[in-house]
């Protein structure tokens, strides 16, 4: 059992086999750690085997169970083959987390049709292929739970029109599948919509875009970005029996950025307004290790908690110093 400190009880997923796409890096890696810490056999799948193997090794060193498989979610046959072979090997697939995905930053006016289609293909089609493969390969007969990671896109997605359209498509597809597949032995399918999260995914963006993320993060009513652990814990909840009557929802995990009108000073007339940001501590589940000194960078032989651009590492060190300790 992995040393990751989940807010949920150990053994919660001890009989479960859960597939996490994109589980070698960032949010997916954190989800894999947390599920393994709760007893699941976690299968992580993506294109780059070296990243997957590193994460699987970390999980095993912490006492968890993790296997790796290569997968390009844009290929429906690969999705089918992967599900069929893991069910043949382990006898079941009780959970699926569609986390793999991404996009690039571009104004809509400069985006080529191919660029738009590529991101829709990756996120919307890729998620559909995996859902369908899981349904046909196991869950249609035996039930199961699916969580689709989307992105906070309630008010559109300026700068990323392709991903906004794709994620909105996933949210709607999720509602349909909840209704169509609920009767098949109680399949549940839900979405988690992250706001801006300190994750390895940030390495994909040019400095100018990152500066925009950093400059605007204070506008979030939480006064900060989110942590990978805060997404992982939401996914765990939705996969767990604690959410057994929740089906077809989209759960924003964004510090209320999707509700905000972008005016963080709107409440500043109140004497308790704190311009330095919320005093509420973030949740970080990584095991206590080697003191707090390196801010999660993985120095001195301890596990690297986050692999993000330096300004985000500095923010993470700050969050870590105020985080809930479990």
Ligand X SMILES: NC(=O)C1=CN([C@@H]2O[C@H](COP(=O)(O)OP(=O)(O)OC[C@H]3O[C@@H](n4cnc5c(N)ncnc54)[C@H](OP(=O)(O)O)[C@@H]3O)[C@@H](O)[C@H]2O)C=CC1
Ligand Y SMILES: CCCCCCC/C=C/C(=O)SCCNC(=O)CCNC(=O)[C@H](O)C(C)(C)COP(=O)(O)OP(=O)(O)OC[C@H]1O[C@@H](n2cnc3c(N)ncnc32)[C@H](O)[C@@H]1OP(=O)(O)O
- Contacting positions for ligand Y (CB under 6 A): 102-104, 106, 112, 114-115, 118-119, 122, 151-152, 195-196, 201, 204, 257
| SS3 state at 214 | helix
The CA radius of gyration of the chain, in Å to the nearest whole number, is 19
- List the x/- string, 10-39, binding to ligand X by CB under 6 A: -----------xx-xxxxx-----------
β strands within 116-175, DSSP E: 145-149
118, interface contact from ligand X, ligand Y, none, CB < 5-8 Å by kind: ligand Y
- List the x/- string, 125-154, binding to ligand X by CB under 6 A: ------------------------x-x---
CB of 230 within 8 A of CB of 280?
no
60, interface contact from ligand X, ligand Y, none, CB < 5-8 Å by kind: none
What is the token pair recorded at 112?
Answer: 């080529």
106, interface contact from ligand X, ligand Y, none, CB < 5-8 Å by kind: ligand Y
72, interface contact from ligand X, ligand Y, none, CB < 5-8 Å by kind: ligand X
CA distance 39 to 59: 11
Q: Which is nearer to ligand X, 39 or 134 (CB)?
A: 134
What is the token pair recorded at 134?
Answer: 């899981």
Q: Which of residues 107-126 bind ligand X (CB under 6 A)?
A: 122
- Told to check if 200 binds ligand X by CB under 6 A, we report yes
Q: Which is nearer to ligand X, 39 or 55 (CB)?
A: 55
114, interface contact from ligand Y, ligand X, none, CB < 5-8 Å by kind: ligand Y
CA distance 126 to 103: 13
The whole-angstrom distance between residue 202's C-alpha and the CA centroid of its chain comes to: 13
Which residues does 307 contact at the CB level (< 8 Å), separation at least 6? 25, 26, 200, 203, 298
- List the x/- string, 203-222, binding to ligand X by CB under 6 A: -x------------------
CA distance 183 to 191: 19
């Amino acid at each position: 059992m992995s040393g990751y400190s989940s807010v949920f009880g150990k053994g919660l997923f001890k009989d479960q086999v859960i597939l996490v796409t994109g589980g070698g890096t960032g949010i997916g890696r954190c989800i894999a750690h947390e599920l393994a810490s709760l007893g699941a056999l976690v299968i992580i799948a993506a294109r780059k085997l070296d990243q997957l193997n590193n994460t699987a090794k970390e999980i095993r060193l912490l006492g968890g169970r993790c296997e790796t498989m290569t997968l390009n979610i844009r290929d429906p046959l690969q999705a089918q083959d992967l599900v069929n072979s893991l069910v043949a090997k382990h006898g079941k697939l009780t959970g699926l987390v569609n986390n793999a995905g991404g996009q690039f930053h571009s104004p809509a006016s400069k985006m080529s049709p191919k660029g738009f289609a590529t991101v829709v293909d990756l996120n919307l089609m890729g998620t559909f292929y995996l859902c369908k493969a899981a349904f046909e390969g196991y869950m249609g007969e035996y039930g199961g739970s699916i969580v689709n990671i989307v992105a906070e896109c309630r008010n559109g997605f300026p700068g990323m029109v392709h991903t906004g359209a794709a994620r909105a498509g996933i949210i709607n597809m999720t509602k349909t599948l909840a209704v169509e597949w609920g009767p098949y032995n109680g399949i549940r399918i839900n979405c988690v919509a992250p706001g801006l999260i300190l994750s390895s995914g940030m390495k994909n963006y040019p400095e100018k875009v990152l500066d925009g993320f950093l400059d605007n993060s204070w506008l979030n009513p939480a006064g900060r970005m989110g942590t990978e652990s805060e997404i992982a814990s939401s996914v765990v909840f939705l996969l767990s029996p604690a959410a057994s009557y929740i089906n077809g929802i989209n759960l924003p995990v964004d510090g209320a950025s999707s509700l905000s009108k972008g005016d963080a000073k709107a409440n500043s007339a109140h004497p308790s307004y704190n311009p330095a940001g919320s005093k509420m501590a973030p949740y970080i589940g990584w095991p206590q290790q080697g003191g707090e000194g390196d801010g999660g960078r993985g120095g001195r032989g301890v596990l690297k908690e986050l692999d993000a651009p330096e300004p985000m590492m500095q923010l993470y060190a700050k969050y870590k110093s105020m985080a809930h300790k479990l």
